[in-house]
Amino acid sequence: MTQTPFHIYLYGPGGGPLTSRFEDVSERLSKVDRLHMELDGSFVWVGPNWQLDGMLYDHNDRIRYVDLKGHCALTQWQFLMQWIADPVASGSAASLTVWVLCEQRLHDLQTFEEMCWPES
């Protein structure tokens, strides 16, 4: 399966902050196997043939955006989105906005996933 490398900024609905709280996401990520989470919001999640590096940026207890880069299968990506998105907010992961740095363009989450994992 092809793994397209990417570097993105992940935002909430309409390019605004995520509905997730920094402490909640940090706590969820710190429980993930093979994911190392730092107190400053940086993390790395590594598998046999993939790696994701990220940084959570927050203000007033909300995540403003997440800087993410790496390459992985769609399965790992979707798990990460579930852990970052607010599980209480209905459709939270689906409403995420993705800024693709190499293109300098915004996409909704579904469009970004279709670009990176077209065979899925």
This prediction's pTM = 0.90
Q: Please state, in angstroms and rounded to a whole number, the distance separating the CA atoms of residues 69 and 98.
A: 12
Residue 26 half-sphere exposure, CB side, CA atoms within 13 Å? 16
**For 4, which DSSP code?**
-
Comparing C-alpha atoms, which of 65, 67, 66, 69 is closest to residue 50? 69
Topology given in CATH for the domain delimited by 6-116: TATA-Binding Protein (3.30.310)
b/e per residue 64-81 (b: at least 16 CB within 10 A): bbbbbebbbbeebbbebb
**Per-residue pLDDT tens over the stretch 27-65:** 999 999 999 999 999 999 999 999 999 999 999 889 999
Asked if 76 contacts 4 with a C-beta cutoff of 8 angstroms, the reply is: no
pLDDT at 9: 98
**Per-residue pLDDT tens over the stretch 79-117:** 999 999 876 665 567 789 999 999 999 999 999 999 999
pLDDT at 94: 73
